[in-house]
Amino acid sequence: MKLLLVAEYREGKILDTYGELLGFAQKLNAESSMVLVGAADSLPSFDGKLYLADVATHGESNADVHKQVVLDVVSRENPDMVVLCHSSYGWDLAPRIAYQLKAAQVSEVVDIQDGKLVVPVCNAKLRRTLVPGSALTVATIQSGAFAAPELAGAAPRVESIEVSTDGSYTFLGYEEATEGGVDLTKADIIVSAGRGVGKADNVGLVIDLAKALGGEYAASRPVVDSEWVAHERQVGTTGQTVAPKLYIACGISGAIQHLAGMKKSDFIVAINTDRDAPIAEEADALVIADLLQFVPILTEKIQSL
Ligand X SMILES: Cc1cc2nc3c(=O)[nH]c(=O)nc-3n(C[C@H](O)[C@H](O)[C@H](O)COP(=O)(O)OP(=O)(O)OC[C@H]3O[C@@H](n4cnc5c(N)ncnc54)[C@H](O)[C@@H]3O)c2cc1C
Q: β-strand 111-113 against 13-14: which pairing, if any?
A: unpaired
Q: Give the span between the Cα atoms of 203 and 250, in whole angstroms.
A: 10
> Shortest gap between Cβ of 159 and ligand X (angstroms)?
35
Check binding of 90 to ligand X (CB under 6 A). Answer: no
User: CA Rg, the chain, in Å?
Assistant: 21
> Quick count: other Cβ atoms within 10 Å of Cβ 204?
14
Sign of torsion over alpha carbons 137, 138, 144, 148: positive
Check binding of 195 to ligand X (CB under 6 A). Answer: yes
- 104-123: which residues touch ligand X (CB under 6 A)? 123
> Shortest gap between Cβ of 150 and ligand X (angstroms)?
28
> Shortest gap between Cβ of 271 and ligand X (angstroms)?
6
Check binding of 144 to ligand X (CB under 6 A). Answer: no
User: Which is nearer to ligand X, 50 or 124 (by Cβ)?
Assistant: 124
| Residue in 258, 214, 213 with CA at minimum distance from that of residue 233 | 258
Sign of torsion over alpha carbons 158, 160, 163, 165: positive
Q: Give the span between the Cα atoms of 242 and 235, in whole angstroms.
A: 7
Check binding of 32 to ligand X (CB under 6 A). Answer: no
CB 93, CB 70: distance < 8 Å = yes
- 247-276: which residues touch ligand X (CB under 6 A)? 251-253, 255, 257-258, 261, 271-274
Check binding of 140 to ligand X (CB under 6 A). Answer: no
- 170-189: which residues touch ligand X (CB under 6 A)? none
Check binding of 203 to ligand X (CB under 6 A). Answer: no
Q: Give the span between the Cα atoms of 253 and 232, in whole angstroms.
A: 20
Check binding of 124 to ligand X (CB under 6 A). Answer: yes
> Shortest gap between Cβ of 170 and ligand X (angstroms)?
28
Check binding of 205 to ligand X (CB under 6 A). Answer: no
User: Which is nearer to ligand X, 120 or 156 (by Cβ)?
Assistant: 120
User: Which is nearer to ligand X, 67 or 258 (by Cβ)?
Assistant: 258
Which residues are CB-neighbours of 243 under 8 A, at least 6 positions away? Answer: 185, 262, 264, 265, 266
Check binding of 234 to ligand X (CB under 6 A). Answer: yes
> Shortest gap between Cβ of 142 and ligand X (angstroms)?
9
CB 124, CB 109: distance < 8 Å = no
Biggest CA pair distance of the chain = 67
Is 173 known to sit in a ligand binding site? no
The footprint of ligand X on this chain (CB under 6 A) covers a number of residues equal to 29
**Alpha helix (H) residue ranges in 78-191:** 88-101
Is 17 known to sit in a ligand binding site? no
Binding residues: 195, 220-221, 234-238, 251-258, 272
Q: Can you give the binding site for ligand X, defined by CB under 6 A?
A: 123-124, 194-196, 220-222, 234-239, 251-253, 255, 257-258, 261, 271-274, 277, 290-292
